[in-house]
Amino acid sequence: MSVAAIVFDMDGVLIDTEPIWEEVRTAYIEELGGRMLPDTQERFMGMSTAEWSEYISRDLIDGSRTPEQVATDVIDRMSARYAEHLPLMPDAAETVRRFAARYTLGLASSSPRRLIDVVLAHMGVTDLFHTTVSTEEVERGKPAPDGYLAAAAGLGVDPHDCVAIEDSSNGLRSAAAAGMTVIAVPHPRYPPAPDALALAAHVVTDGLPSLTPELIDSLPRRTA
C-alpha cells in the first residue's frame, strides 16, 4: 500500500503505562470509598480525560469529587509516578526514529496533553512528530474516531493513507473507524477483544522491533 503517514498510539505502544493508570485510578477510587466495577478498566482504556473523570465522579465515587477535581487529582498522581520512572516499551524510541526516517509521523493518544509532552520529551522524539493529538482536545475519546481523524487532519493527509499502531480494543476500533489501516500490538496484560483484533491488518506478536517499513508497505490498504 502507499502510506502517507504513521500514527502512533502512546500508552501501551510506546510506553507501558496502562498498569500505572490502573494502579493510580484504582487506589484513588478506593481512597474515596468508591468501587471498581468488573468492566471499569476496559472502559477506561481509550476514554478521554473528560470522559474518565466524569465516569469516576458520577459512577464510582458518587460525586464526592467533581470531574474537574478528579482529573486534576489523577493526573497529578500520574505525573508523580512518571517522575519516579517512565517505563518505555523495548525499542520504542528506536521504532519512532526508524519510521521517522521514511514516513510522516503523528500521534493520537488518550493521555492528557501534559503527559504526552512529558513522555515524548523523555524519549527525545518530540520533533519527529508532525502532529500530536490528545483525545481531551477532541469531542469524543476512543473508540470514536475523533482523535485519529484530528491527527490525519493535522498531518494534512487522507486517513485511508495512514497506518495506525494500537494496542487496546477501543484504540483499534477508533483507528479503524477513522478509515486507517491498523497494526495491533497487543499488551499481554490487557489483550484486545477478538472483534477489535479482527480489525487489524497485522498483529505483532514479538514486539516493536518487528515493525519495519517493509512490513508497512506490504499491508493491504483499508478501503472501508
Which listed residue (11, 16, 73, 146) is catalytic? 11
H-assigned helices in 63-205: 67-84, 92-100, 113-123, 146-155, 169-177, 194-197
What is the SS3 assignment for 170?
A: helix
What is the dihedral angle through the alpha carbons of 173, 174, 179, 180, rounded to the nearest 10 degrees?
Answer: -90
Q: Is 11 annotated as catalytic?
A: yes
Instruction: Choose, from 9, 73, 161, 167, the residue flagged as catalytic.
Output: 9
Angle between helices 113-123 and 67-84 (to 10 degrees): 10
Nearest to 52 by CA among 72, 32, 30, 38: 72
Based on DSSP, count helices (H) and strands (E) in the chain, helices before strands: 10, 6
Q: In the 8-state DSSP scheme, what is residue 87?
A: -
9 is catalytic: yes
- Residues that are catalytic: 9, 11
